[in-house]
């Protein structure tokens, strides 16, 4: 017989005695108030003992959503953010009865975020009220770091009205602690992981669509729209941290003549090869885009004018020394490059920087091409 079963009989006797004392007319208000508090605690213990004595349901396997590889040796990694050791033990008892898992406890939001950042977590349960915040604070923090871990709220029965609000803010489900059972937990986990899998698939599809819309079909580089968006973001960063920023615009000299003489398929092959060449010469955080027909745009964060000029010269020399294929013929082509660096003047926008780079590019082409020119005010 388990300890929980052994508690049942004395608890029933204690509950009966408490009911008799509460009905005693000679007991004063303060005594009755104290007895009522004790009875509430006794009822709570009786409920816990009843739940713990119930046999767990047969363990069931819940496959992780697609995209997350299960770890059979460890099972699910579940985090329960709960400052009550008693409630955590009850929760662990039931959840281990329905799935193979490892359950970790965090008693504060700070500790929870630490565990989330350092470990693989498949599912989060959170008590609404914690010493340093609440469940809504956690949802906000997870949204800020773009976490996709599904969250389930555990609420006191009198706080169930917070459940719909929690789901509106990103929680996947909620339930009352008083109604915890193995079957209930299994149902909630199964539904949550299924819903999370569907949400993840939808997010992946959305990201693929966004990525396709930002890419140039021919060169596989980012397109002009992406160039302008990223440049705007880098201007804001440059303003905030007072760091240098430069832009290059690269254009082939006399490219229309190449298309006319060798055909547009050859022209497309040249642009594709040039894209690979330029991409191989920049840093991982630099952005290379197809800006126009035969134009490439480069956004160079944390790069001053001199650094941008050095890169531009390397690109110009690389293109000039490359042999582009046109059927059985090899072509020697050149590019002109315009440079503009962010001057940190108030009100400078994307179109100002690109306009300056275009002016420098036009000057390089007007001077015969195969040159690098910088916009100097």
pLDDT of residue 82: 92
Polymer length in residues for the chain: 377
- pLDDT digit string (tens) for 111-124? 999 898 888 888 99
CATH class assigned to 76-209: alpha beta
Q: Is residue 97 within 8 Å of residue 56, measured between CB atoms?
A: yes
Annotation: CATH topology of 224-374: Alpha-Beta Plaits (3.30.70)
User: Given a cut of 50, is residue 72 above it in pLDDT?
Assistant: no
Q: What share of the chain is helix, strand, coil (3-state, %, to 5)?
A: 55, 20, 30
- pLDDT digit string (tens) for 263-297? 999 999 999 999 999 999 999 899 999 999 999 99
For 287-334, give the DSSP string: EEEE-SSSEEEEEEET--HHHHHHHHHHHHHHHHT--EEETTEEE---
Q: Is the model more confident about 111 or about 43?
A: 111
- pLDDT digit string (tens) for 322-364? 999 888 888 999 999 999 998 777 766 778 899 999 999 999 9
Highest mean pLDDT among 72-76, 107-111, 198-202: 107-111
What pTM was computed for the model? Answer: 0.50
Distance from C-alpha of 280 to C-alpha of 218, rounded to nearest angstrom:
17
**Helical H runs in 169-254?**
182-214, 224-241
């Amino acid at each position: 017989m388990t300890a929980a079963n052994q508690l049942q009989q004395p608890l029933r006797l204690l509950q009966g005695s408490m009911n008799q004392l509460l009905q005693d007319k000679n007991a004063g208000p303060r005594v009755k108030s104290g007895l009522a508090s004790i009875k509430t605690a006794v009822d709570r213990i009786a409920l816990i003992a009843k739940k713990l004595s119930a046999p767990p349901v047969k363990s069931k396997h819940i496959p992780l959503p697609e995209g997350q590889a299960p770890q059979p040796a460890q099972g699910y990694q579940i985090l329960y953010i709960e400052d009550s050791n008693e409630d955590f033990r009850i929760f662990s008892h039931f959840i281990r009865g329905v799935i193979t898992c490892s359950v970790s406890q965090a008693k504060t939001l700070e500790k929870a975020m630490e565990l989330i950042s350092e470990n693989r977590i498949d599912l989060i349960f959170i008590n609404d009220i914690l010493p340093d915040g609440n469940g809504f604070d956690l949802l906000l923090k997870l949204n800020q770091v773009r976490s996709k871990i599904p969250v389930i709220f555990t609420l006191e029965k009198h706080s169930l009205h917070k459940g719909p609000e929690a789901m509106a803010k990103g929680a996947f489900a909620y339930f009352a602690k008083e109604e915890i059972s193995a079957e209930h937990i299994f149902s909630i986990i199964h539904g949550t992981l299924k819903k999370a899998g569907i949400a993840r698939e939808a997010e992946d599809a959305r990201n693929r669509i966004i990525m396709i819309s930002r890419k140039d079909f021919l060169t596989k580089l980012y397109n002009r729209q992406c160039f302008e968006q990223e440049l705007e973001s880098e201007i804001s960063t440059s303003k905030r941290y007072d760091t240098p920023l430069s832009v290059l615009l690269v254009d082939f000299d006399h490219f229309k003549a190449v298309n006319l003489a060798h055909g547009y398929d050859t022209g497309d092959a040249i642009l594709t090869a040039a894209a690979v060449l330029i991409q191989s010469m920049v840093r991982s955080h630099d952005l290379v885009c197809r800006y126009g027909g035969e134009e490439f745009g480069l956004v160079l964060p944390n790069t001053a004018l001199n650094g941008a000029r050095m890169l531009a010269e390397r690109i110009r020399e690389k293109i000039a020394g490359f042999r582009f294929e046109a059927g059985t013929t090899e072509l020697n082509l050149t590019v002109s490059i315009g440079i503009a660096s962010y001057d940190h003047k108030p009100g400078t926008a994307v179109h100002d920087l690109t306009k300056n780079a275009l002016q420098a590019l036009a000057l390089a082409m007007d001077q015969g091409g195969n040159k690098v020119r910088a916009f100097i005010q």
